[in-house]
Amino acid sequence: MSATVSIPTILRTHTGGEKQVKADGSTLQEVITDLEANHPGIKDRLVTDGALHRFVNVYVNDEDVRFAGGLDAQVPDGGTVTILPAVAGGR
């Protein structure tokens, strides 16, 4: 079960500058574990206290995983995982 993971600029220091990398797993949790094995340090940028970090948005195919089970979201074989920086602010 392999997925293509799209990496935002801010996290490419972990992937040697690559915009897209492959990772194995059938859930987002497993994909992130596999990412961490090949790109150490990336997990801490995505997950905090067992949940997705508020600074990132993660999408499996076209759906925001916050609406699809979070880290338990299913990742279909050949699917696409897209990571984007959250854009927010205010006083």
The answer to the question of residue 85 lying near other proteins (CB under 8 A) is yes
Secondary structure of residue 64 in the 3-state scheme? strand
Chain residues 48-67 in contact with other proteins, contact rule CB under 8 A: 55, 57, 59, 62, 64, 66
| Rounded Cα–Cα distance for residues 1 and 86 (Å) | 27
The answer to the question of residue 44 lying near other proteins (CB under 8 A) is no
The answer to the question of residue 41 lying near other proteins (CB under 8 A) is no
Report strand pairing: 2-6 vs 80-85. Answer: parallel
Rank residues 17 and 90 by Cβ distance to other proteins and give the closer one. Answer: 90
The answer to the question of residue 86 lying near other proteins (CB under 8 A) is yes
> Are 2 and 24 in contact, with CB atoms under 8 Å apart?
yes
| Rounded Cα–Cα distance for residues 38 and 76 (Å) | 20
Q: Kindly list the residues in this chain that would bind other proteins in the complex (CB under 8 A).
A: 8-10, 55, 57, 59, 62, 64, 66, 82, 84-91
